[in-house]
Amino acid sequence: MHIVAPAVEGSQEIIDKREALGPAPVHSPLDVFATILSPTASISHAAKRTNAYAHLVQRSGYNAGVATGAAVKIDVGGNSVELREGDGVYITLTPGTRVDVENVGEIDGELLFFDTE
């Protein structure tokens, strides 16, 4: 789900009024996406900009020990990293690069993805 997008004049996607459908407009080069991935599910995103940040939301509550709960694998051009609940990763890339995300855990994973400069 696309939840934040740049307020660009003439955009068909952005409606700059209260309680509008679609992403919230911001005056920054930033798109934010949110998704809940069920086990074995995967999604892809073609990056619009040169930087991204992915964060796997901590849903299982505070845990002082080793991370448990959801797990996702993020792959960019054959380089991958696994995130557990509460983890995040900063990614530098070329616009148009495909970012693949796969739930490799046993429960739903809630992911936020920031596509920015």
Query: What is the distance of C-alpha 14 from the center of its chain?
Result: 19
- Per-residue pLDDT tens digits for 14-45: 665 666 677 878 888 999 999 999 999 999 99
Q: How many whole angstroms from its chain centre is CA 70? A: 15
Q: Could you tell me the domains of the chain?
A: 33-116 (2.60.120.10)
In this prediction, residue 82 carries a pLDDT of 96
Residue-level pLDDT at 26: 84
pLDDT in tens, 72-106: 999 999 999 999 998 999 999 999 999 999 999 99
The residue with tokens 């996607």 is 13
pTM: 0.85
